[in-house]
Amino acid sequence: MVTFGAGLIMELKKYKYIHLFIFLQDIRKLSVKDDFNARLSELLTKQKANEDFQKELKDFTTLFLEKAFFVNAFTDYGINSSLGFFSELIKRIKYKFFPPLTNKTELSNFLSFLFGNKNNDWVNKIDEVNWSRIFSFLILKNSYYQSNFNMQIKNALVILSHRLVTLGVDPYIVLKLPEADDTNSPFFELNRAINEFVETEDDSAEKEQKSTVVLIELHRCERIFQGLVAEKDNMGTSLHLTFLIKRAEQHIKRIRILMHIFSADKEIKHSAAKKLAYSLLRANAEKYSVKKFVKTNTGLLASRIMSHTSEKGEDYIGFSRNENKKLFRSAMGGGLIVVFLVFIKHYIHQLQLSLFFEGLLFGLNYGFGFVLMHFLHFTLATKQPAMTASYIAGNLGDKNNRNNVTPVLKQIIKSQFISLAGNLIIVLPLCFLVAFTLKYFFQYQFFDYPVANQQFQSNHPLLSLSLFYAFITGIFLTCAGIITGYYDNKVVFADFAERIKKHPRWSQKYSPAFLSKVGAFVEKNLGAIIGNMFLGLILGSAGNIGTFLGLPFDIRHITVSSGNFGIALGSVYVYHIAELITIFIGILLIGIINIFSSFLFSFILACTSRNLSAKESIKILYVSLIAARRKN
């Protein structure tokens, strides 16, 4: 049961407000209809003549206005706390399973009693005419209630303005925009204007003028934070800055709504009341929602990360024959590196190390190999999807126009096939030739029959979990792209290049030109280095982790699997042709799953950063694929 005071429990009984609950139930049912507002108008007309309903509404409204404390609701509901991102996240997780006690007069108690924690989006569907009629039902005719309600709004405005000033002069904000802490800062002016507005009598002729000054200063404050968002490409962003910006936006939005409640224009007043009601209901329903909190407060950072990933994605697409030739040569170079990595991994395995150190060396082998590919401008085909998916999402445009996607998608599919062919045309034949040469000319069998058979069976599409492991690999490929974008953004946001140039010790030892080159190198390559090292470590150590935990956890990567297949093929002479064909098909399926899963996850994440749902993202991709196929 919701925690109330003893007297309040007696008064908030559902049977005492049965007509009110039926009325809300009817509205929910009507909200799915196309002519919702027309039907709602009829319902309101009917209820206006319903004496039992009017009595229950009056009783509940009276109880609501006498007992409810609105200040906390106006200042806290739907607004990030000052705890910070991770502290707020932990708090939500904790309260989701073990909710805290609430004061008996807390507004959330009344909202939960009347509306529950259901979806109340129907509130936002009500048009202005019907909202005015509902508002007339709830009009505060008692001067005490009106005065008390207005006073609580004013108290909330003062609290919100103080918090916004604190946000505006936060060192994290001032570091990026020094003018925010200027003596003529709009935050200080807003605080002064709100104090003057609050002290003005409600029926005073100056009230409207004071309100206008508050709204002007509020707009100036809003432009400060809009500037931070607009400059994210140049300055970068961080999780904490994103959290602060979102918190400031929430404060500004709430202050504006509360100020409009005092407007002399009834249309503005009723519109503000509707927005306030909807935001409070939604905030009450989502107060412990972890998913909503994370999505709301990571949007800007996610957008910037995907923007960095998208910028790299263009390098993996061939828009002309010459670019496709260059991509093919680059993929062949990447295949050559993989050949060395595959052989080095098997030599590490022969050292008979413990699971931990063997997995670590496997991972470092792959990691350094992938970093070397980056510096040599070689291509690993399976790394393309994470980058190109973000590039496609970036091509949707501001209006999410799927027509922008189809031509690019055709080029991406073609480029993906070219780079995959470039990898395989080197890895598979070369691994086979090396193993065959060692056995035939030097009598050195790289894989004996049991090991070769194990390699064959580990890639069998029906007798192993290779396709499931390929799906897991797609997830890690996506994560590598995200990590690369994250650190590319972090380097820009934290001014790494400038800090290297102005380092107090290094600037005394090295020339400015040298430090500038080092700074530019770090800014350009740090994200790629960390992303490639992560991918290498996880791909190399996954199998050992799965063995240690006793879980079906491993990876299947098409270039590595084809390399192992080639070595096994060159190490033994006895084959079952049908089985080899099946395994080869399995390796191709591994590649398809690697690429498709990585592309799909990356595309959904990139679209989510543009405020599209996963369902909408998949629909856009599906329609674009069909359109691309028809154009062929």
Mean pLDDT computed over 580-606? 89
Q: What is the model's pLDDT at position 158?
A: 94
- pLDDT band, residue 393 (cuts 50/70/90): low
- Residue 453: enclosing H or E segment and its boundaries? helix 449-458
Q: What is the model's pLDDT at position 531?
A: 92
Least-confidence region, from 11-15, 109-113, 159-163, 578-582: 11-15
pTM exceeds cut of 0.75: no
Domains and CATH numbers, the chain: 6-288 (no CATH), 304-494+524-631 (1.20.1080.10)
Query: Is the CB of residue 217 less than 8 Å from the CB of residue 189?
Result: yes
pLDDT in tens, 196-249: 999 888 766 788 888 899 999 999 888 888 887 777 666 666 777 777 888 889
How many beta carbons lie within 10 A of that of residue 317, not counting itself?
21
Query: Is the CB of residue 514 less than 8 Å from the CB of residue 483?
Result: no
Listed in sequence order, the residues at least 6 apart from 440 whose beta carbon sits closer than 8 Å to its beta carbon are: none
- pLDDT band, residue 265 (cuts 50/70/90): confident
Q: Which residues of 185-199 are buried (b: 16+ CB within 10 A; e: fewer)?
A: bbbbbbbebbbebbe
Mean pLDDT computed over 470-479? 92
Mean pLDDT computed over 456-470? 93
What CA–CA distances, in Å, run from 451 to 346, 439, 446, 547, 577? 11, 15, 9, 17, 18
CA proximity to 140, closest of 66, 83, 208, 29: 66
pLDDT in tens, 100-154: 777 777 888 888 888 876 667 777 788 878 877 777 776 555 667 778 888 999 9
Written as six digits, the tokens of 384 are 């393309």
Q: What is the model's pLDDT at position 588?
A: 94
Query: Is the CB of residue 214 less than 8 Å from the CB of residue 193?
Result: yes
